[in-house]
Amino acid sequence: MTEPQPTSYREAYARLNRIAAELESGEADLDRVLPLLEEARAAYAQCRGRIEAVRAVLAGDWGDEADPDEPEDPDDDDEE
């Protein structure tokens, strides 16, 4: 039976580390390798998705409708 899907980056990363250690030890039963690789792929995808989301935010892609290359107009106030 496989473990539940990790819910956070930290959990997914820890799962990747546990899987890598098990595979590197050479003690993993051959019948367990494929399920381990499938779990690793899912955890990796989750980590990568979180990293890409952070990169997008750091790059300024906050999902705003305004054009990031267009300077803000300081005289454009909503206060009247």
First to last CA, the chain: 63
Output the 3-class SS for the chain. Answer: CCCCCCCCHHHHHHHHHHHHHHHHHCCCCHHHHHHHHHHHHHHHHHHHHHHHHHHHHHCCCCCCCCCCCCCCCCCCCCCC
Q: Are 38 and 1 in contact (CB under 8 A)?
A: no
- How far is the C-alpha of 55 from the C-alpha of 50, rounded, in Å? 9
**pLDDT tens digit string along 18-35?**
999 999 998 888 899 999
Predicted confidence (pLDDT) at residue 62 exceeds the cutoff of 90: no
Average pLDDT, whole number, for the chain?
Answer: 81
Q: What is the pTM of this model?
A: 0.63
